[in-house]
Amino acid sequence: MLSAFANTFKIPELRQRILFTIGLIFICRLVSLVPTPGVNWQVLEAALNNIKETSGAGGGLMGMFDVFSGGAMSRCSVGFLSIWPYISASIILQLMTAIIPTLERLAREGDSGRQKLNQYTRYFTIVICIFQGYFLARALENPAFLGQGNIKLVDEPGFAFQFLTVIAMTTASMLVMWLGDQITARGIGNGISLIIMINIVSRLPIAIIESYDRYFSREAMHSVFELAMLLGLGFLVTAGTVMLTQGLRKIPIHTARRTVGAKAYGGQNTYMPLRVNYSGVMPIIFAGPLLQFPAALMTRIDTDRLPWLGGLKWLGGQLVDMSNAIYLVSFSVLVLFFSFFWVATQFNAMRISDDLKRTGGYVPGIRPGRATAEYLDHTMTRVTLIGAIGLIAIAILPTLLRGQLNLPWELASFFGGTSLLIIVGVALDTLRQMESLLLMRHYDGFLKHGRLRSRKQ
């Protein structure tokens, strides 16, 4: 494998792509370091650190956002929104494509339709940036939401500060989105995914420092055996995440042989891959905020004025604590629900069956048409259940480690959850693209005795 990495720099085109990607990622990291004008980011960082040191979801939620933004949240930088408005716009438009016929027609029109959908996604991204930037500016002007008493984050609040914050954050988010597109077109891998992965990995040095303070410093209160156990657990969880990401259910497909004139077409035996984790990280992304934001609002209910809502406030307090059994059960149920919801909206068994019938393909032993659609739907349901259970196990592991061992979120996030799923998925996808370029030029790939899933069998 080391020789394969050395070979990547022997190919001029691949070397240029790698250096180009590194340069643009460096610019993205610079954007996340520029503080928002008018904000006292030192005071904000101290308040957020105080919250993250407390138990419960307040610290976990803040820590999770800080990890995904690459530390931009602690500094309240202009890159705080990062690429997430574009991700949100893409997810919303993708879900709307399944229910709005006009968008569905655009999606099936090929390159021209996809270009139109990408244009709509960019317009929607600007709207989301303006909306989120404005409410973030208002939250900075009224920092009581942090629960840290009377602190002042903005020296000169007002319309000028709100306008400047919206313009700065919207511009930074659109710049990061454009850089991601350039990485996709002229670099290696999916640029948007790479930016998210680099934001997460940028917190790794902090996790290493916290591990040293926790296990090797003079004030260390924890045994080195705990560290060895965590390293072994991390290896097993990473291996399980790779298996979940790469797992496929292969449906055999036979193509009928056709003779047109003097030429014969078809007659091939192939397979249709059904991914075990078809929905990726989407169920975790949906489930977390859907639980925690309403729970945070419920905890602010004034029971002195509204005593009949006392039970709702109690439930909010239980859901705010990420280590609470009620939260873990509710979170697991939501992950399971959104796993099936995503498959139901994105996997169209009837359309696949019609496409197979049109091209002369069929599943051995299954009649074409509706019977094939029912078979694919039934198989996908069972595969999704297995993937959802594995996804739940990976998703709740960082929360369990944080609750039982009192690990900092920056450290616990590397033992599962969205962070590990994104890192593994993006790393495998990048290796696939680099390996394909190596094999095209008759170099050995990264795996001499195995195959990445994308390589033809």
- pLDDT confidence of residue 114: 82
Q: Which of 239-253, 321-335, 428-442 has the highest mean pLDDT?
A: 239-253
Render pLDDT for 170-229 as a digit per residue (tens, 0 to 9).
999 999 999 988 988 888 878 888 888 888 888 888 888 888 888 888 777 788 888 888
> Per the structure block, which two tokens stand in for 371?
């019977």
Q: Which residues contact 79 (CB under 8 A, 6 or more apart)?
A: 28, 31, 32, 33, 34, 69, 70, 72, 169, 172, 173, 176
pTM over 0.75: yes
Q: Which residue has the higher pLDDT, 3 or 433?
A: 433
- Measuring CA to CA, which residue among 161, 86, 139 is closest to residue 296? 139
Residue 442 has pLDDT above 90, yes or no: no
- Measuring CA to CA, which residue among 272, 257, 298, 233 is closest to residue 366? 272
Residue with tokens 């399944």: 98
Alpha carbons 16 and 13: distance in angstroms, whole number:
5
- Measuring CA to CA, which residue among 191, 274, 248, 245 is closest to residue 422? 245
- pLDDT confidence of residue 388: 92
DSSP 3-state of 407: coil
Residue 348 has pLDDT above 80, yes or no: yes
Q: Which stretches does DSSP call E strand in 241-307?
A: 248-255, 258-260, 263-265, 269-275
- pLDDT confidence of residue 184: 87
- pLDDT confidence of residue 456: 42
- pLDDT confidence of residue 148: 53
Alpha carbons 213 and 220: distance in angstroms, whole number:
6
- pLDDT confidence of residue 125: 92
Average pLDDT in the 27-32 region?
88
Q: 376 falls in which pLDDT band (50, 70, 90)?
A: very high
CATH no., domain 1-202? 1.10.3370.10
Q: Which residues contact 375 (CB under 8 A, 6 or more apart)?
A: 363, 366
Residue with tokens 């039982």: 404
Mean pLDDT score across all residues of the chain: 81
- pLDDT confidence of residue 56: 46
Give the CA distances from residue 124 to residues 92, 118, 135, 164, 191, in Å, rounded to whole numbers and listed in that order.
Answer: 9, 10, 17, 20, 19
Residue 304 has pLDDT above 80, yes or no: no
Q: Work out the end-to-end distance of the chain between its first and last CA atoms, rounded to an integer number of angstroms.
A: 20
Residue type, position 327, single letter: Y
What is the Cα 157 distance to its own chain's centre?
Answer: 34
Render pLDDT for 389-425 as a digit per residue (tens, 0 to 9).
999 998 888 888 877 777 777 788 788 777 888 888 8
> Per the structure block, which two tokens stand in for 59?
């610290």
Q: Which of 69-78, 202-211, 335-344 has the highest mean pLDDT?
A: 335-344
Residue type, position 133, single letter: G
- Measuring CA to CA, which residue among 430, 402, 437 is closest to residue 198? 430
Render pLDDT for 138-183 as a digit per residue (tens, 0 to 9).
888 876 655 555 677 787 888 888 999 999 999 999 999 999 889 8
Alpha carbons 280 and 282: distance in angstroms, whole number:
6
Alpha carbons 448 and 444: distance in angstroms, whole number:
7
- Measuring CA to CA, which residue among 189, 186, 187 is closest to residue 425? 189
- Measuring CA to CA, which residue among 388, 386, 398 is closest to residue 423? 398
Residue 449 has pLDDT above 50, yes or no: no
For residue 36, the 8-state DSSP code is P
Alpha carbons 317 and 64: distance in angstroms, whole number:
19
Q: DSSP for 390-422, please give it.
A: HHHHHHHHHHHHHHHH---HHHHGGGSHHHHHH
Residue type, position 373, single letter: A
Q: 259 falls in which pLDDT band (50, 70, 90)?
A: low
> Per the structure block, which two tokens stand in for 141?
């002007």
Q: 457 falls in which pLDDT band (50, 70, 90)?
A: very low
Residue 318 has pLDDT above 80, yes or no: no
> Per the structure block, which two tokens stand in for 267?
């007659």
